[in-house]
Structure 1
Amino acid sequence: MIVGTRDLFGFQRLVYRPRSGTWADSILQLLQTSGHAAGEPDVAAIAGYLSGERLVGRTVLRDVLAVPPGQALIESARGLEVRDAPGQPISGDLETLLRDSLQRALESGKRVALALSGGLDSALLLALLRELGAQRHVTSYILATGMPDYCEEDAALELATQMQAKVKVIRFGEPDFVAALPRTTHTVEEPMFNLHPVAKRLLAEAMAEDGIELAISGDGADQVLRRDQSANYLPLCNALFDAASVHLHPPFVDQAVVMHLTSIAPDPDKQCLRELGARLNLPDRLVSGPKRGRLAPAMDLGALLDRERIRALASSLDLPAPTLQTDTERVLWTTLTFTLDHLGATTRPQ
């Protein structure tokens, strides 16, 4: 019997405990359902998180496994196991498939908003909403941080003005990011190497406060077109919006769109999206300009960084003591301690 299938790029989480035969959408939910303690950390998996070489199908806990992207969880006489869950190519052009996805969101009966950045992916969705006559009814939320090289307020506002879109700018600075890091980590249930996912949590909470129930976003385009199945970002985004009771609706992750895009050659430069953007009269900077990274800048984690606790944790896991000299290392170890403590994991594996 098929218990559940994880989408090809891991947007939906699915974890399970082979020994107890239980499964859930999150580790904490699984622990509560199975009625067992968290148990020991998975040292090899944790080392993979810290090095960037994630182990597919593993979590921070030894006896909690993750269904890899594109796999199905099967319940049989032998217990729980995973198998391939191949999809079928979908006919239709990209513009039509994306428009259909947006139409479903608009007809969901929920209060809908768009997460608008200054980049190509969300700009395409806004242009398609304009084609559907919805850009003045669906509020475009713009997250303004005021941080150099990490604030796309001006570019997003310029685009929204061009599209005659209804806009709301929400402002969060470094103190807001730092304050939200613990609850963000508790939701994603894994170490993070950068604070960028915190932006998703802040955006989702701001939408929820306004009564937004469904958020359209450009998430997933990069992963699908690069064939990146690492699941190191998309499931985090989904979980963070879900924690705020806002349904995240990224058309680029819709099954029909994914099956269409994966039936053609990988397109890491997103040429297919650039061509669509040109047809929709997007600004040349989006159609022809270089892609820009969106990692958050280094922030002061002094109030959260427990160096003594981190050294003790590294020792208990028999891992090299971190120097904590780089932002990446500080974020990884801080979020690792938050994760294990939140899940109640013992930190002295046998």
Structure 2
Amino acid sequence: MIVGTRDLFGFERLHYHPRSGKWAGGISQLLRESGESAGEPDVAAIAGYLNGERLVGRTVLHDVLAVPPGHALIQSAHGLEVQDAPSQPVRGDLETVLRESLQRALDSGKRVALALSGGLDSALLLALLRELGAQQRVTSYILATGMPDYCERDAALELANLMQAKVKIVQASEADFVAALPRTTYAVEEPMFNLHPVAKLLLAEAMAEDGIELAISGDGADQVLRRDQSANYLPLCNALFGAASVGLHPPFVDTPVVEHLISLAADPNKQCLRDLGARLNLPDRLVHGPKRGRLAPAMNLDPLLERDRIPALAATLNLPAPTLQPDTERVLWTTLTLILDHLGATRRPV
């Protein structure tokens, strides 16, 4: 019997505990519902997080496994097993399937907002909302950090003004990012190498304060178009909005949109989106310009970074002691200690 299926790009998390035969979306939820303790850390999986070579199907806990993207969880006489559950390509029309996805969000009966950055993906969605006459009904939320090379306020406002959209600016400082890092880590339940996911939580929390129930976002376009099934970002986005009690609706991972996009050749340059953007009269910088990376700058993690404790934790995990000089290393070890403590797994590993 199929008890759960994970979508092709891993947007929805699905974890299971083989010994107890239980499953749930998140690790903490699974431990609560199974009545099991965290058990021991999974050293090999943790090493994979730290060196950028994640182990498919593994988590920071030895006894909790993750269903990989594009797989189903099966309950049989032998216990819980994982099997392939591939998606089938269905050729359609990109603009049509995106419009239909947006319309489903608008018809949900929930208060809906758009997470607007200065990039192509969310700009396309705003342009389509304008075509549907909803750019004033659906407020565009823009995160303004004021951080050099990590603030898209001006670019996003340019788009909003072009589309005559209703806008809400959410201010977030470095102190806000650092203060939100524990909440972010507890939600994603894995170590992170950069603070960019924190931006998702800050935006989601601002929406929740305003009574927003469903957020439309451009997340997933890159992953689907380049066939990236690593699930190292999309499920984090979903978990972070969920932690703020805001549903996340990214049309680019909606089933009909995915089925259409995988019927085409892989398109890492997102030419199909650029072509649609040209038809919708998006700014030239989006239609023809290069894609910009979106990593957060280095921030002062001293309030959270346990420098004296981390070498002992590394020794317990049989891992080399980090220098804590590179920013990625500081973020990884800070979030690793946070999540292991949160799950109750800072004991002798297996």
User: TM-score range with shorter-chain normalisation?
Assistant: over 0.9
Kindly provide the amino acid, as one letter, of the partner of residue 63 in structure 1. D
Contact conserved, 1:38 with 1:346, CA < 8 A, in 2? no
Give the TM-score of the pair, scaled to structure 2.
0.99
Identity over aligned pairs, percent: 82
| Residues 1:84 and 2:62 aligned together | no
Q: Which residue of 2 aligns with 1:114?
A: 114
- Specify the alignment match of 2:332 in structure 1: 332
2:39 alignment counterpart: 39
Give the secondary-structure state (helix, strand or coil) at the position aligned to 2:308.
Answer: helix
**CA distance in structure 2 between the aligned counterparts of 1:30 and 1:281, rounded to whole angstroms:** 47
Quote the residue 2:258 is aligned against. 258
CA contact under 8 A between 2:72 and 2:83: conserved in structure 1? yes
The residue number in structure 2 matching 1:169 is: 169
Question: TM-score with structure 1 length normalisation?
Answer: 0.99
Counterpart of 1:319 in structure 2 is 319
Q: 8 Å contact 2:50–2:332 — kept in the other structure?
A: yes
Pairing 1:187–2:187 present: yes
Alignment-derived partner of residue 138 in structure 2: 138
Measured in 2, the distance between the counterparts of 1:84 and 1:72 equals 6
What SS is found at the alignment partner of 2:110? Answer: coil
Q: Tell me how far apart the structure 1 counterparts of residues 34 and 4 of structure 2 sit (CA, whole Å).
A: 17
- 1:8 is matched with 8
Q: Which residue of 1 aligns with 2:96?
A: 96
Question: Could you tell me whether the CA contact under 8 Å between 1:74 and 1:82 is conserved in 2?
Answer: yes
CA distance in structure 1 between the aligned counterparts of 2:159 and 2:29, rounded to whole angstroms: 41
State the match for 2:48 in structure 1.
48
Find the counterpart in structure 2 of residue 304 from structure 1: 304
Which residue does 1:210 correspond to in 2? 210
State how far apart, in whole Å, the 1-side matches of 2:283 and 2:154 are: 14
Q: Which residue of 1 aligns with 2:28?
A: 28
How many angstroms apart in 1 are the aligned matches of 2:349 and 2:277?
Answer: 52
Q: Match for residue 157 of structure 1?
A: 157
Q: Structure 1, unaligned stretches of length 5 or more? A: none
- 1:308 Cα offset (Å): 1.4
CA-CA distance at 1:312 after TM superposition: 1.1
RMSD: 0.6
What SS is found at the alignment partner of 1:126? helix
Deviations 1:283-321 (A, max 9, x none): 000000000000000000011110111111101001000
CA contact (8 A) 1:194 1:328 kept: yes
Shift of 1:349: 1.9
Q: CA deviation at 1:347?
A: 2.5
Using the alignment, how far apart are the partners of 2:92 and 2:52 within structure 1? 37
Which residue matches 1:73?
73
Note if contact 2:120-2:286 (Cα within 8 Å) is conserved in structure 1: yes
Structure 2: segments with no counterpart, 5+ residues: none
Deviation at 1:331, TM superposition (A): 0.1
SS of structure 1 residue aligned to 2:92: coil
Shift of 1:346: 3.7
Deviations 1:203-242 (A, max 9, x none): 0000000000000000000000111111010000000000
Cα-to-partner distance string for 1:131-183 (whole Å, 9 max, x where unaligned): 00000110000000000000010011011001000011110010000000001
Q: Distance in 2 between matches of 1:201 and 1:142?
A: 13
Match of 2:221 in 1: 221
Deviation sequence 1:253-299 (CA, Å, 0-9, x none): 10111111111111000000000000000000000000000000000
Alignment partners' CA distance in 1, 2:345 and 2:292: 38
Per the alignment, in what secondary structure is the counterpart of residue 318 of structure 1? coil
CA distance in 2, matches of 1:347, 1:254: 40
Task: Tell me how far apart the structure 1 counterparts of residues 19 and 246 of structure 2 sit (CA, whole Å).
Answer: 33
Q: Does 1:347 align with 2:318?
A: no
Q: Partners in 2 of 1:162 and 1:313 — Cα distance?
A: 52
Distance 1:183 1:227 in 2: 30
Aligned to 2:248: 248
Rounded to whole Å, the distance in 2 between the matches of 1:293 and 1:238 is 20
- Could you list the structure 1 runs, at least 4 aligned residues long, displaced by more than 3 angstroms after superposition: none
